[in-house]
Amino acid sequence: MKLVICLLTLSIVTLSEGKSSKPSGMEVKSFSRKYGFSLRVRLEKEELILKKGAFKVSLLPNATVALTNRQEVWFLKTPVLLTNNGVILPSSLIERLLKATKKAEYSNPKPIEKIIETSNRFNSSKDKIKFIVLDAGHGGKDPGNVHHGVSEKKVNLIITQKVAAILKKKDPNLRIVFTRNDDRFISLEGRSNMAVNLSRLNHQGLFVSIHANASLNSKSKGIETYFYSSNGSHKSHERIRCFRNLILPLSQNPKVHKIITKMYDLQISKESKYLAQYVNREVYSRVRNKTNNRGVKAHKPYFVITHNNLPSILVEVGFLSNSQEARMLMNSSHQYQVALGIATGIHRFITQFNNSKGFLEP
Ligand SMILES: [Zn+2]
Number of Cα atoms under 13 Å in the Cβ half of residue 76: 28
Inter-helix orientation angle 332-356/152-170, to 10°: 50
Distance (angstroms) between ligand 1 centre and the Cα of 326 equals: 14
Q: 83-87, 133-137, 271-275, 316-320: which range is least confident on average?
A: 83-87
Distance (angstroms) between ligand 1 centre and the Cα of 127 equals: 31
Distance (angstroms) between ligand 1 centre and the Cα of 205 equals: 22
What range defines the domain where residue 63 resides? Answer: 2-117
Distance (angstroms) between ligand 1 centre and the Cα of 316 equals: 8
Distance (angstroms) between ligand 1 centre and the Cα of 313 equals: 13
Distance (angstroms) between ligand 1 centre and the Cα of 77 equals: 48
Number of domains in the chain: 2
3-state SS, residue 245:
helix
Distance (angstroms) between ligand 1 centre and the Cα of 216 equals: 15
Q: Where are the beta strands (DSSP E) in 9-104?
A: 25-27, 38-42, 47-52, 55-59, 65-68, 73-75, 81-83, 86-90
Distance (angstroms) between ligand 1 centre and the Cα of 25 equals: 58
Distance (angstroms) between ligand 1 centre and the Cα of 199 equals: 24
Would 361 be classed as within a structural domain?
no
Distance (angstroms) between ligand 1 centre and the Cα of 263 equals: 30
Query: Nearest-CA neighbor of 340 among 170, 113, 147, 153?
Result: 170
Q: What are the pLDDT digits (tens) for 211-257?
A: 999 999 999 999 999 998 876 444 445 555 555 444 444 455 666 66
Chain-centre distance of CA 205, in angstroms? 10
Query: Last residue of some domain: 70, 93, 117?
Result: 117
The answer to whether residues 83 and 150 belong to one domain is no
Quote the DSSP letter at residue 252: -
Query: What residue type is assigned to position 299 of the chain?
Result: H
How does residue 210 score in pLDDT terms, banded at 50, 70 and 90? very high
Distance (angstroms) between ligand 1 centre and the Cα of 126 equals: 33
Beta carbons of 160 and 117 less than 8 angstroms apart: no
Distance (angstroms) between ligand 1 centre and the Cα of 212 equals: 6
The answer to whether residues 149 and 286 belong to one domain is yes
Quote the DSSP letter at residue 223: E
Distance (angstroms) between ligand 1 centre and the Cα of 332 equals: 20
Q: What are the pLDDT digits (tens) for 50-76?
A: 999 888 888 877 777 777 776 566 777
Distance (angstroms) between ligand 1 centre and the Cα of 234 equals: 18
Q: What is the pLDDT of residue 257?
A: 64
CATH number at residue 162: 3.40.630.40
Query: Last residue of some domain: 117, 145, 172?
Result: 117
Query: Nearest-CA neighbor of 17 among 69, 88, 94?
Result: 94
| Beta-carbon contacts of residue 220 (< 8 Å; ≥ 6 apart) | 213, 319, 321, 322
Q: Where are the beta strands (DSSP E) in the chain?
A: 25-27, 38-42, 47-52, 55-59, 65-68, 73-75, 81-83, 86-90, 129-136, 146-147, 150-151, 175-178, 204-213, 223-227, 293-298, 312-319
The answer to whether residues 47 and 133 belong to one domain is no
Quote the DSSP letter at residue 289: T
**Higher-confidence residue: 30 or 247?**
30
